[in-house]
Amino acid sequence: MSVLPITICGEPVLHRPAATVTEFDADLRQLVDDMFETTVAAPGVGLAAPQVGVGKRIFVWMYEDQDEAPSQGVAINPELWISPPDPGLPDESEEEGCLSFPGERFALRRSERALLRAQDIDGNPFEIQASGWFARILQHEFDHLSGLLYVDRLVHPENRAAQKAERRNGWGKPGLTWMPGVDNLES
């Protein structure tokens, strides 16, 4: 297993839809193992394949503070349904971070419940009903597979603060990565 470099906002793979996984083989297993190791090293609670430069529909999660699914798992070729989010603006209890927008946190209103349907590492289908922060994690990682970062969903004034952070950090262009365990950029 290896820790992989994490792409930063502006890398093209982060801003386009990911491709369907068709081969459930040793290479896929290696990628998923590396994604788990990278998530631990970052540290994070989830990681999508585009965040490590791979444009495939895969994400992993590592989140123990829920009873709805195993504390860690992989979703391959996922589909996600969400309940309507509560109306209104987000508050600071809804702040998120992202390993591809490292060191920054902004408030984003998300749906309280989600239904995930995906395939496991062997290609077997599964379903998870999630709520609270676990539902938020699933939504965040699923967005990466659609070419969205959470900062793309922010509303005023959070979106202005994110734009300023992007400019301040010199992001928004291809070729930028950081290495968990080496660079001090965790979110």
Does some domain include residue 93?
yes
pLDDT tens digit string along 24-77? 999 999 999 999 999 999 999 999 999 999 999 999 999 999 988 999 999 999
Which residues are annotated binding-site positions? 98, 140, 144
Give the domain extent around 71: 6-178
pLDDT tens digit string along 145-181? 999 999 999 998 999 999 999 999 999 999 999 999 8
Does some domain include residue 114?
yes
**Residue 187, pLDDT score:** 47
Does some domain include residue 185?
no
Does some domain include residue 80?
yes
Residue 158's CATH number: 3.90.45.10
Which residues are annotated binding-site positions for Fe cation? 98, 140, 144
State pTM to two decimals: 0.95
Backbone φ and ψ of 165, nearest 5°: -65, -40
Catalytic, out of 11, 37, 141, 166: 141
Identify whether 157 is preceded by a cis peptide bond (ω within 30 of 0): yes
CA dihedral 180, 181, 184, 187 (to 10 degrees): 50
Residue type, 54: V
User: Region 2-17: what's the mean pLDDT?
Assistant: 98
Averaged pLDDT score across all residues of the chain: 95
For residue 138, give the nearest of 89, 78, 184 by alpha carbon: 78
- Report the SS3 class of residue 48: strand
- The verdict on whether 166 is a catalytic residue reads no
How many domains does the chain fold into? 1
